[in-house]
Amino acid sequence: MEATQISRSALDVEWQRLQVIATNLANMNTTRTDNGGTYAAQRLVSGPVGDFAAEMRAAGDPDAPPERGVMVYQITQTNSGTRQVFNPDHPHANEDGFVSYPNISQSDEMSMMIKTQRAYQANLVALQAAQRMFSSALQVGRQG
Protein backbone atom coordinates (compact mmCIF):
# COMPACT_ATOMS: atom_id res chain seq x y z
CA MET A 1 0.00 0.00 0.00
CA GLU A 2 2.98 2.34 0.27
CA ALA A 3 2.95 3.01 -3.47
CA THR A 4 -0.61 4.36 -3.34
CA GLN A 5 0.15 6.48 -0.27
CA ILE A 6 3.19 8.00 -1.96
CA SER A 7 1.26 8.78 -5.16
CA ARG A 8 -1.69 10.22 -3.26
CA SER A 9 0.54 12.53 -1.24
CA ALA A 10 2.26 13.67 -4.45
CA LEU A 11 -1.11 14.32 -6.10
CA ASP A 12 -2.11 16.52 -3.15
CA VAL A 13 1.15 18.49 -3.30
CA GLU A 14 0.97 19.04 -7.06
CA TRP A 15 -2.67 20.11 -6.79
CA GLN A 16 -1.72 22.71 -4.20
CA ARG A 17 1.18 23.85 -6.41
CA LEU A 18 -1.27 24.38 -9.29
CA GLN A 19 -3.43 26.52 -7.00
CA VAL A 20 -0.43 28.69 -6.06
CA ILE A 21 0.50 29.13 -9.73
CA ALA A 22 -3.09 30.05 -10.60
CA THR A 23 -3.11 32.63 -7.80
CA ASN A 24 0.11 34.16 -9.15
CA LEU A 25 -1.36 34.38 -12.66
CA ALA A 26 -4.59 35.87 -11.35
CA ASN A 27 -2.69 38.57 -9.46
CA MET A 28 -0.02 39.50 -12.00
CA ASN A 29 -1.77 42.83 -12.64
CA THR A 30 -2.77 43.53 -9.04
CA THR A 31 -1.47 46.92 -7.96
CA ARG A 32 -2.65 46.78 -4.35
CA THR A 33 -3.40 43.99 -1.88
CA ASP A 34 -5.64 44.25 1.18
CA ASN A 35 -2.70 45.51 3.25
CA GLY A 36 -1.86 48.19 0.67
CA GLY A 37 1.31 46.69 -0.81
CA THR A 38 2.02 45.16 -4.19
CA TYR A 39 1.22 41.47 -4.56
CA ALA A 40 4.30 39.23 -4.23
CA ALA A 41 4.47 36.00 -6.22
CA GLN A 42 4.35 32.83 -4.15
CA ARG A 43 6.12 29.49 -4.42
CA LEU A 44 5.22 26.19 -2.84
CA VAL A 45 8.10 24.42 -1.09
CA SER A 46 7.68 20.65 -0.83
CA GLY A 47 9.76 17.66 0.06
CA PRO A 48 9.77 14.22 1.62
CA VAL A 49 7.59 13.49 4.64
CA GLY A 50 10.37 11.91 6.67
CA ASP A 51 14.03 12.75 6.83
CA PHE A 52 16.88 10.37 6.08
CA ALA A 53 17.69 9.76 9.75
CA ALA A 54 14.07 8.76 10.46
CA GLU A 55 14.16 6.35 7.52
CA MET A 56 17.31 4.72 8.87
CA ARG A 57 15.79 4.37 12.35
CA ALA A 58 12.64 2.84 10.84
CA ALA A 59 14.75 0.43 8.77
CA GLY A 60 16.31 -0.95 11.97
CA ASP A 61 12.93 -1.44 13.67
CA PRO A 62 10.54 -3.70 11.74
CA ASP A 63 7.59 -2.55 13.88
CA ALA A 64 8.13 1.14 13.11
CA PRO A 65 6.07 2.24 10.11
CA PRO A 66 8.23 4.28 7.75
CA GLU A 67 6.99 7.66 6.70
CA ARG A 68 6.44 7.80 2.97
CA GLY A 69 5.42 10.38 0.47
CA VAL A 70 5.81 14.11 0.10
CA MET A 71 4.33 17.10 1.85
CA VAL A 72 4.10 20.87 1.61
CA TYR A 73 6.63 22.54 3.89
CA GLN A 74 5.47 26.09 3.28
CA ILE A 75 4.26 28.64 0.77
CA THR A 76 6.77 31.46 0.52
CA GLN A 77 6.80 34.82 -1.17
CA THR A 78 9.42 35.43 -3.83
CA ASN A 79 11.72 38.43 -3.88
CA SER A 80 11.06 39.14 -7.53
CA GLY A 81 10.30 42.80 -6.90
CA THR A 82 8.03 44.94 -9.00
CA ARG A 83 7.82 46.18 -12.55
CA GLN A 84 7.13 49.83 -13.17
CA VAL A 85 4.65 50.83 -15.86
CA PHE A 86 4.16 54.45 -16.88
CA ASN A 87 0.47 55.26 -16.54
CA PRO A 88 -0.06 58.68 -14.95
CA ASP A 89 -3.88 58.34 -15.13
CA HIS A 90 -3.93 55.21 -12.95
CA PRO A 91 -5.20 55.84 -9.39
CA HIS A 92 -2.17 54.04 -7.91
CA ALA A 93 0.42 55.94 -9.94
CA ASN A 94 3.24 57.56 -7.96
CA GLU A 95 4.27 61.19 -8.33
CA ASP A 96 6.31 60.34 -11.44
CA GLY A 97 3.33 58.60 -13.09
CA PHE A 98 4.57 55.02 -12.62
CA VAL A 99 2.41 52.16 -11.33
CA SER A 100 4.01 49.23 -9.49
CA TYR A 101 2.93 45.78 -10.61
CA PRO A 102 4.24 42.43 -9.36
CA ASN A 103 7.17 41.19 -11.40
CA ILE A 104 5.47 37.95 -12.43
CA SER A 105 6.42 36.38 -15.74
CA GLN A 106 3.41 34.79 -17.39
CA SER A 107 5.63 32.50 -19.45
CA ASP A 108 7.52 31.31 -16.36
CA GLU A 109 4.27 30.63 -14.52
CA MET A 110 2.81 28.78 -17.51
CA SER A 111 5.99 26.69 -17.84
CA MET A 112 5.77 25.80 -14.17
CA MET A 113 2.10 24.96 -14.62
CA ILE A 114 2.90 22.54 -17.45
CA LYS A 115 5.64 20.87 -15.38
CA THR A 116 3.27 20.57 -12.44
CA GLN A 117 0.50 19.13 -14.60
CA ARG A 118 2.91 16.53 -15.98
CA ALA A 119 4.05 15.59 -12.47
CA TYR A 120 0.40 15.29 -11.45
CA GLN A 121 -0.37 13.08 -14.45
CA ALA A 122 2.69 10.90 -13.79
CA ASN A 123 1.60 10.34 -10.20
CA LEU A 124 -1.92 9.55 -11.34
CA VAL A 125 -0.56 6.92 -13.75
CA ALA A 126 1.62 5.48 -10.95
CA LEU A 127 -1.38 5.34 -8.62
CA GLN A 128 -3.48 3.55 -11.23
CA ALA A 129 -0.67 1.08 -11.95
CA ALA A 130 -0.31 0.29 -8.25
CA GLN A 131 -4.05 -0.25 -7.94
CA ARG A 132 -4.00 -2.61 -10.95
CA MET A 133 -1.12 -4.57 -9.41
CA PHE A 134 -2.95 -4.90 -6.09
CA SER A 135 -6.08 -6.01 -7.92
CA SER A 136 -4.10 -8.58 -9.92
CA ALA A 137 -2.52 -9.89 -6.71
CA LEU A 138 -5.97 -10.34 -5.23
CA GLN A 139 -7.09 -12.26 -8.31
CA VAL A 140 -4.05 -14.54 -8.09
CA GLY A 141 -4.82 -15.11 -4.40
CA ARG A 142 -8.38 -16.18 -5.20
CA GLN A 143 -7.26 -18.69 -7.81
CA GLY A 144 -4.63 -20.29 -5.56
Q: What is the pTM of this model?
A: 0.81
Question: In this model, does residue 63 exceed pLDDT 70?
Answer: no
* pLDDT value at residue 55: 65
Question: In this model, does residue 95 exceed pLDDT 70?
Answer: yes
Provide the 3-class DSSP secondary structure of residue 46: strand
- Over range 85-105, report the average pLDDT: 94
Which of 37-41, 73-77, 117-121, 136-140 shows the lowest mean pLDDT across its residues? 136-140
- Over range 88-105, report the average pLDDT: 94
Question: In this model, does residue 1 exceed pLDDT 80?
Answer: no
**SS3 letters across 91-128:** CCCCCCCEEEEECCCHHHHHHHHHHHHHHHHHHHHHHH
* pLDDT value at residue 120: 95
